[in-house]
Amino acid sequence: MIYGVYSWDVIEPITYITGVFYTCVSMGFYLRYKDDFEWGNAFSVFQARKLRKLIKQQNIDLKRLEFLKTYKKDLEEGLAYLKK
C-alpha cells in the first residue's frame, strides 16, 4: 500500500491484520514442528510429508533402497580406484 494514495487510517489496519496473520502462521508452525518458521523450513517439511505419503502409497522398501544406494556408491568408488 502506498501512503500517497491511501491514508494512514486505511493502511494501518491492513498492516496490523497482515502482521497478526503471519504471527498466527508462525506460531502454528512452531507448535506443530518445534522449529522456527522460515519459508525454506516450511517447504522442506511439506516436501518431506509428500515424499512419505508417496512412499507409503507405492510400498517402497526403504531399507532395500538405502542398501542399493550405498552399494552403488561403493561400486562407483571401486571403479574410480581401478581407473587410476
pTM for this structure?
Answer: 0.44
Can you read off the three cell numbers belonging to residue 19? 502482521
Residue 36: the pLDDT is 66
Q: Which residue has the cell 505419503?
A: 53
Residue 7: the pLDDT is 80
Residue 34 pLDDT > 80, yes or no? no
Q: Which residue has the cell 512452531?
A: 30
pLDDT digits (tens, 9 = 90+) for 7-28: 878 888 888 999 999 999 888 8
Up-side HSE of residue 61: CA atoms within 13 Å toward CB?
Answer: 4
Element containing residue 9 per DSSP (H, E): helix 8-33
